[in-house]
A and B are shown apart, each in its own frame.
Chain A
């Protein structure tokens, strides 16, 4: 049986696992963005915290992913369901690019433009929302893009703790020593990552064309 036969024969399951995969990676990226972008903003305002926060996010990324899933199993509520646990672990992994890009994006806004905004009597909040965030948005979206691709790739490992997703095929194929089954998980996952990457890339370029005009 070749790869295409396997896909067609199991199309229902391929579709289900792909959707499950997208839900895992998508939810994780969204949570990471909701935490990481505000943290990135925070460390532009309180630079004393930047070392601690960027350092912690860095350390999390160095933990091997399987080990991180393992560490989180004893956590209350989170550990009860494999899906929750996988989302939390993926979100933790995605924090670093989001914090770092938000921070770098805001720091790289032309200081004369920010000063002009302050001198015109914009409040701190207005400077952030009307000037800094719009001008940093291209770099921030680049961070979201990295985070999304990262979590789509890592979500294949979530199957190891029973969270589902396209990793199911990969682990099953490994156990069966069947390359067709491995590819049935790996190829849709790769296509998902590539599609997300180019879609967010278009958005990123569009936003950058606003900020880079000077």
Chain B
């Protein structure tokens, strides 16, 4: 798969609004993500982060404005082709419970028509990439720990080497130690892969660790879209509130 020319963003939102049954969910969002860049969508539940992700892979279609992926509107893409260009990771992996690890990871390459030898090699390569032992291939998701399931979820999203990766609270269900480990590994993975990544979280620490830019969302609107350094210096009231909430000593916040 070829990447878009470097001057063209991999993902581009142009004054995008989205409503469901007349209820506005996203209001006039404009942002873009380049290849090699990680944009974190930060915000509380119900702020429109997940909807923004679903607009990227065409699970939702904007009611106003355009979402372009690799220069083409999502409405003009064949939705199946569009989604196979975008790896998707959700909380707890969203793995198929009736498939082994091997079949979970190999599903997209198989339906893309890869031959069996290539699929097998790719599964082994991905397991190594996400730090899992190759002996896990025959396990079912229920036989894995939360961290292992999440790693399989990442491997599955990367299986057909999509140029774009979107992650929805991907590490949200993990214990703090596994979570911090996964975050570090993901960061070093991204430094090698150079994909266009959109990462949804409500955790500022995670946002600062993984993001090149942070887009703060509230009530369906984009409040700010800043580099991580700018974000920490910003005087915007909501940004301040976030930074303060995360820098309070635990005893006071408890």
Interface of A toward B, CB cutoff 8 Å: 110, 112-113, 115-123, 126, 130-131, 134-135, 210-214
Residues of the A chain whose Cβ atoms lie less than 8 Å from the Cβ of B57: 119
A210 touching B98, Cβ below 8 Å:
yes
Q: CA separation between A71 and B72, bound complex, in Å?
A: 61
State the majority secondary structure of interface residues on A: helix
Bitwise, B62-97 to A at CB < 8 A (1) or not (0) is 000000000000000001111110101010001111
Bitwise, B84-120 to A at CB < 8 A (1) or not (0) is 1010101000111110000000011001000000000
A113 touching B88, Cβ below 8 Å:
no
A214 touching B97, Cβ below 8 Å:
yes
State the majority secondary structure of interface residues on B: helix
B142 touching A214, Cβ below 8 Å:
yes
Q: Nearest Cβ in chain A — how far from B95, in angstroms?
A: 8
Other A-B contacts than A119-B59, A126-B111, A211-B97, 8 sampled, CB-CB below 8 A, are: A112-B94, A116-B94, A119-B86, A122-B80, A210-B98, A212-B97, A213-B98, A213-B142
B97 touching A130, Cβ below 8 Å:
no
Within 8 A of A (CB), among B121-147: 140-142
Chain B: interface size category: 20 to 34
A115 touching B94, Cβ below 8 Å:
yes
Residues of the B chain whose Cβ atoms lie less than 8 Å from the Cβ of A115: 59, 94
Partner of A134, one of B59, B81, B98: B98
Q: CA separation between A214 and B144, bound complex, in Å?
A: 10
Chain B minimum-CB-distance residue to A131 = B96
Q: A121-B108, A214-B97 are in contact. Are A116 and B90 (CB under 8 A)?
A: yes
Chain A minimum-CB-distance residue to B93 = A116
A116 touching B88, Cβ below 8 Å:
yes
Residues of the B chain whose Cβ atoms lie less than 8 Å from the Cβ of A131: 96
A121 touching B141, Cβ below 8 Å:
no
Q: CA separation between A145 and B132, bound complex, in Å?
A: 41
B84 touching A213, Cβ below 8 Å:
no
Residues of the A chain whose Cβ atoms lie less than 8 Å from the Cβ of B95: 113, 116
Residues of the A chain whose Cβ atoms lie less than 8 Å from the Cβ of B81: 121
A112 touching B90, Cβ below 8 Å:
yes
Residues of the A chain whose Cβ atoms lie less than 8 Å from the Cβ of B142: 213-214
Q: CA separation between A131 and B141, bound complex, in Å?
A: 14
Residues of the B chain whose Cβ atoms lie less than 8 Å from the Cβ of A213: 97-98, 140-142
A119 touching B83, Cβ below 8 Å:
yes
Residues of the A chain whose Cβ atoms lie less than 8 Å from the Cβ of B141: 213-214
Listed by A's residue number, 6 A-B pairs whose Cβ atoms lie within 8 Å are: A115-B59, A116-B90, A117-B96, A119-B86, A120-B88, A121-B79
Residues of the A chain whose Cβ atoms lie less than 8 Å from the Cβ of B157: 120
